Amino acid sequence: MNTKHTPGPWATSRDAVPAGHIQITIYAEASGERVATAFLAEENADLIAAAPDLLAACEAVLVEYPPSRYRTKHHLKPALEQTIRAAIIQARGR
């Protein structure tokens, strides 16, 4: 898959900031490249850092359960497939 974003995995690092403030850097583990900075919410930083893994998981689901006109136990429900495809499109900026 051709990706334009910084390859994962990403991780978080708490930066030195003034007392009473929270700033967390999200960086690429392999290169150390700063991907983003989240302020005030550790949960936001954790979600951002998980983005490459979440995208890969969505893409893996579509590979494992390709579209089919036949309903089987190995078939994704259309609404779930649409949600996964929409998330991939949004993540890839298309």
Give 8-42 pLDDT, tens digit per residue.
887 777 666 666 667 788 888 889 888 888 776 67
pTM surpassing 0.85?
A: no
List the chain domain ranges.
10-91
CB atoms within 10 A of CB 52: 19
Q: What are phi and psi of 80, to 5 degrees?
A: -70, -40
Quick: pLDDT tens for 35-66: 888 776 677 778 888 889 999 999 999 888 87
**48: which 2 tokens?**
């951002």
